[in-house]
Structure 1
């Protein structure tokens, strides 16, 4: 949900830096903890109290609370009018950089609609995590210029958990049109082509009709979904000696198994940092308190837990790293669930005897849906490595600056790199009727979609307006394009990737992924 991969922070920061203390001491130091812990936010206090009752929590649980808690979550509790997006917020997204970005997504939808036979009805557009609605606004404006496509669209669905963002989206997309509550969320009418727009808090509320053709978009959405992190640890030779002494004798805490001689995954968990320490001397009343200490820190779980026993077994990519002690992997079951949902909506799914539950998605197994002809498409744009598993990528950002993700919970945006290969695996496993293309670098995708040509069209239109500010406006248009496509170092055109899920069609590439317009 931001340009957050440019300058990330390690997942766990040091509590104290080595260096001079800044005082002269002639006698011994005495360290004592503060009498009452001061938390940076009310949400931090709530999380700490929960941990004190249940023990350390997963990174996924921590992220979920920080971003979507109703008691101070970053995206769900902004009632003071603060905008997370833009120059005055915490980060800037691609649609805010240039209107061309959203326009090209609208053109990509048009190209897929043409490639699949120009449906005359039954088309649905869905966006998950729509931000302020800027991307969808640019898409719908572009689509309105292609009347046959616009007339085929039955509804636009926006999956949004934040009431504040939902209100901003409604104002931008619908203006003064009526806004009413319905059984699955809220509904209004777009200012473009009078299309009905429906808001749902969860994708599971969005109807999944096998007769419809869904076009699904996820821009900077997956990076904010919760992750679990695991580290491979070497065998524990002392496992057999872990016993509990009791009045009735010694009780083994664990039974030695063949697994005791193999590396094992341990989960990285979140717990409060020790309270800031006071430094006092016997000759002076000067007191120094450690500052800028994050509320929480990461530590390695001392034993296996259900997450570490299950999640790293879901892919051969994870299993291959287990024999290397110290290997760290990040897994986002919720991301897998969304990718699988996209695939089933596009390609349908076949009933399987084992589909009683879906542990990898932390949700009940979905009902099987049969689709006579796969149709629709999904386009995912986010940041992360093209082929490798993300490792230690958890980061925070505030006011356009990287900060620890463990400080000021609820006031800091938290994200992690997207595992595009895991999304592809989840989609392919969910439906036999789809294929996946990419990921490709955003710079390549935008160039293939004609971003420079569209930019020159805008510049030519500016020339016709005349005036003293034309050259400066043209410079901004071209500068925004360069920012989006630049592929050197940590630039957006390189670190951001595009991934497409489309109906199975023998490997024929969609536009933007090596294919051309039909």
Structure 2
């Protein structure tokens, strides 16, 4: 067990030299999610904001099942957090008994023992469904998959590249003369693809792990039949500039302070994810969280909850957080991918 992550990282740098940004993020994120009750304390996700978010996902699955699948499925979630979204999804699907009875298994991809324990407790009321926990999507061997990933990709490590005096450099974490952790630059052997997109002083972010995970999902739904729904904050086309951020107690924090005690994420390049799916012949659709939820009827659900004596002010606040252009509505994107065809096509 690592008791002082900052010293551990410093010792690596002393022994082996500067750490690339993605390696640094990998170490920090693994430690953070293994040791901290992060969701709700440092940041909040859409399922924790409102039950309506998970309910809409449930309605979406029901609609796809009736229109495109109509056979037993395996429901998979990447990074289930506290288990809140899956709880609301299953609770909603259970009102459609035919679909509920056709869930062969719920598969949760989680490598944090702390979060796995929370998920087990949250989902124990669905004892009539077979649930299993895997650490990686590669362990999934089942057919007819419905894969969900909400705020999963943003936490995966990234690399940052930039030009400095006409030379391509990669952002690294190193130490100054006083043994403080600082960001620095190192010469890079990055492929020409990234060079072509950069100008002097510009940054570009690349996540090999995101691309590989997207390829794994694409391969699964191509070979095993399936549907994928990826929701995260990000942009539709590749952009320049650093989007790296750290959060502690719902406020911005300095990335190289409180090492391992705060959440480190970055915006997701959805065009890169779409390209990964395209390599497997899987077409994708990208929309905003706002349009996705409105099209599924979240406003009608809000009215229903309000008619049952739910707090109007509370429901309206939740709707605003999830769909407003100034909140999550436009910033969060939804990628939809499927190997199924509609019945009758």
The match for 2:133 is 199
The match for 2:91 is 141
The equivalences for 1:310-459 within 5 A come to: 310=191, 313=193, 318-322=194-198, 324-348=199-223, 375-389=225-239, 391-429=241-279, 431-432=280-281, 434-438=282-286, 440-459=287-306
**Structure 1 unmatched ranges of 5 or more:** 1-40, 176-189, 236-263, 277-294, 349-370, 463-469, 509-517
The structural deviation recorded for 1:443 is: 1.2
Give the alignment partner of residue 155 of structure 1, picking from 67, 84, 105.
105
Q: Is the 8 A contact 2:288 2:333 kept in 1?
A: yes
Q: Is the 8 A contact 2:248 2:263 kept in 1?
A: yes
Q: How many positions carry a matched residue from both structures?
A: 341
Q: Which has the larger radius of gyration?
A: 1
Q: Is the 8 A contact 1:227 1:333 kept in 2?
A: yes
Quote the Cα distance in structure 2 between the aligned partners of 1:266 and 1:390: 15
Q: CA RMSD of the aligned region, Å?
A: 1.9
CA gap of 1:504–1:137, structure 2 versus 1, over 3 A, is: closer
Give the alignment partner of residue 170 of structure 2, picking from 235, 244, 267.
267
The match for 2:60 is 108
Instruction: Give deviations 1:169-207, integer Å, cap 9, x for gaps.
Output: 0001015xxxxxxxxxxxxxx34xx11110111222222
**Structure 2 unmatched ranges of 5 or more:** none
Give the alignment partner of residue 77 of structure 1, picking from 17, 32, 35.
35
Quote the Cα distance in structure 2 between the aligned partners of 1:321 and 1:270: 24
Give the alignment partner of residue 129 of structure 1, picking from 38, 57, 79.
79
Quote the Cα distance in structure 2 between the aligned partners of 1:320 and 1:309: 11
The structural deviation recorded for 1:437 is: 0.3
Correspondence 1:460 to 2:307 = yes
The match for 1:46 is 8
Give the alignment partner of residue 65 of structure 1, picking from 13, 16, 27.
27
For normalisation by structure 2, the TM-score amounts to 0.94
Quote the Cα distance in structure 1 between the aligned partners of 2:99 and 2:240: 38
The structural deviation recorded for 1:115 is: 2.1
The match for 1:478 is 316
For normalisation by structure 1, the TM-score amounts to 0.63
Quote the Cα distance in structure 2 between the aligned partners of 1:274 and 1:196: 55
Quote the Cα distance in structure 2 between the aligned partners of 1:274 and 1:415: 28
The structural deviation recorded for 1:320 is: 3.3
The match for 1:298 is 183
> Does the residue aligned with 2:228 lie in a helix, a strand or coil?
strand
Quote the Cα distance in structure 2 between the aligned partners of 1:135 and 1:172: 10
Give the alignment partner of residue 487 of structure 1, picking from 325, 328, 338.
325
Give the alignment partner of residue 124 of structure 2, picking from 166, 174, 182.
174
The structural deviation recorded for 1:378 is: 0.6
